[in-house]
Amino acid sequence: MTEAADAGTEVAAAVARAALVRTIAADGWLADPAWRAAFEDVPRHLFVPYYYVPVRGGFERLSSGNPDPGVRARWLSGAYADTPLAIRVRDGELISSSSQPSLMARMLESLHVRDGDTVLEIGAGSGYNAALLAHRLGEDRVTTVDLDPEITESARGHLAAAGYHPAVVTGDGARGCPSRAPFDRILATCALTSVPRDWLEQCWPGGLVLAPLATGLLALLVDDPGHAEGRFLNTPAYFVPLRDGPEPRHRPQDTGRTDVSGVPQHVLRHEPFHFLLSLTAGRLKAREAYELWQRERHPEHARFGVTVRGARQWAWLDDPSGPDAWPLLGDA
């Protein structure tokens, strides 16, 4: 692009970024001025110079370098839409994405960070989330790790282009980052089936792990490496799975291949019911889950929690020691 076109892009990006912040704030997020400033200042379009949009039979690639100004306008508009963006696709499979900005705001505010806190992010993605953290806490307080060297190399370049230089590490996210531990907060942007124990060992006592599990967001307070407990935020969340994490011994319930006789169609379409099925990980049949669903008057995400104690991990409804509890997928 020409210098004039670049300047025009920056002006249009600033307008779109301000509109995105207003959209997120209208939903009740970004009440913390520090996080609002991060979303106002960090240019998301620099982190997604290209991305993929689904079309019939595959994906269409939109990029900042497309010679067609109409395509470039679509790219910029999408970069500041409140939607997740597919940034890496391999053999038709989504490998990495940039999360929906409003969900990112919700997760970042739910970390309850304090000045001086150190944060480990599992799943580097585009680098945008690490930039928001670096804006809030300082780049020396932020570490992001990803298994794929192409992803970390790309994220590092995006971060540098935006003026941020946190630690970007290539490695197995399930093992954390022991060389930079301990951390005050660990934030995962990839879906889990159980909580990697290395994370608890790399967290200060009183630290917080916030991670997608089943189809929810778990906020886990760490007492010590052998004990952590917490509840789910009252919101659904769908992320690309953590790769090379703990191998589950059981598979999640799949209502598409499971006997759902006796379960009303409107319940099967209800996201919190799918969360219950996913969290119980096939230990409850769909009919049993429905009976629990009725008895407990359609429990929302926030009534569920997870406890890690030694080698055991289990999910529960209302009470960690109550009758409605199920081992997580990584446990026997």
Which residue among 63, 64, 77, 96 is the active-site one?
Answer: 96
Residue 278 is among the residues annotated as catalytic for this protein: no
In 140-268, beta strands by DSSP E: 142-146, 167-170, 183-188, 203-213, 216-224, 227-236
Question: Positive or negative, the Cα torsion across 41, 37, 236, 320?
Answer: positive
Measured from the Cβ of residue 228, the count of other Cβ atoms closer than 10 Å reads 24
Measure the CA angle with vertex 99, ends 94 and 104; round to 5°.
Answer: 160
Determine contact, residues 118/140, Cβ cutoff 8 Å.
no
First-to-last C-alpha distance (Å) of the chain: 57
Measured from the Cβ of residue 140, the count of other Cβ atoms closer than 10 Å reads 11
What's the DSSP call for residue 191? B
Determine contact, residues 315/280, Cβ cutoff 8 Å.
yes
Strand 203-213 and strand 167-170: the pairing is unpaired
| Residues noted as catalytic | 96
